Amino acid sequence: MVKVLFVCLGNICRSPMAEAVFRRQVRDAGLEARIEVDSAGTGDWHVGQRPHEGTRKLLEKKGIDWKGIVARQVTQGDMRRFDYIVAMDGSNLQNLRAIAGYAGSRPGDGEGSGAEPKLIRLLDLVPETKLEDVPDPYYTGNFEEVYELVEAGCAALLRTIRAELPA
Ligand code: 4NP
């Protein structure tokens, strides 16, 4: 089982969007028995809440189920539990590195080796976009933009994971 955790700041806008979109893509690929999906936030302000209205409305418009997604804060245990931890922006990535305890993160320092998860920034998987960070719609209000970026990022992530799955 490959375990994937999407992480943003509040776990109510971007990472729950990614969780729902990726879950759908995984299901459409027939891989739900092989890929587990979750999301969390580096902050704790919205713990226990369902996704932001903007995320809920956008997902409903696209016919993607979000029910059952409840905000939680990322833990050190997540660093051991998940194989891929996917940050929505560079700030999330820095916070995750600090939580994982390898803030220096030189190549070969831990990332991707042994029990360490692969820490990835989502849009690094989408070289076609000039953006490095998924803009935070909590401030921009632009949930459509987030959906487009998340959809492309999740598709690239699924291709990456599929290439590594044993036959
Ligand atoms: P998210 O957006 O990280 O995409 O869930 C945010 C949600 C809440 C806050 C910031 C960003 N906040 O400051 O409460």
Task: Please give the full DSSP string across 88-136, using - where no structure is assigned.
Answer: SSHHHHHHHHHHHT-TT--TTSSTTSTTPPEEEEGGGG-TTSS-SS---
pLDDT interval class at 2 (50, 70, 90): very high
The 10s digit of each residue's pLDDT in 56-94 is: 999 999 999 999 999 999 999 999 999 999 999 999 999
Closest of 38, 7, 28 to residue 136, by C-alpha: 7
Q: Which residue has the higher pLDDT, 12 or 104?
A: 12
Phi, psi (degrees; rounded to nearest 5) at 39: -145, 160
Please provide the average confidence, as pLDDT, over all residues in the chain.
92
Mutate to test the pocket of ligand 1, among 6, 13, 56, 142 (most ligand atoms within 8 A of CB): 13
First and final C-alpha spacing in the chain: 13
- Among residues 56, 78, 136, 154, the one annotated as catalytic is 136
pLDDT interval class at 115 (50, 70, 90): low
- Among residues 13, 14, 121, 154, the one annotated as catalytic is 14
What's the chain's length in residues? 167
Residue 156's contacts (CB-CB under 8 Å, 6 or more residues apart) are 125, 126
Mean pLDDT of 140-145: 98
The pLDDT value recorded for residue 15 is 98
Mutate to test the pocket of ligand 1, among 42, 136, 147 (most ligand atoms within 8 A of CB): 136
Do the Cβ atoms of 35 and 84 come closer than 8 Å? Answer: no
For 2-164, CATH gives 3.40.50.2300
The 10s digit of each residue's pLDDT in 16-41 is: 999 999 999 999 999 999 999 999 99
Question: So where are the chain's domains?
Answer: 2-164
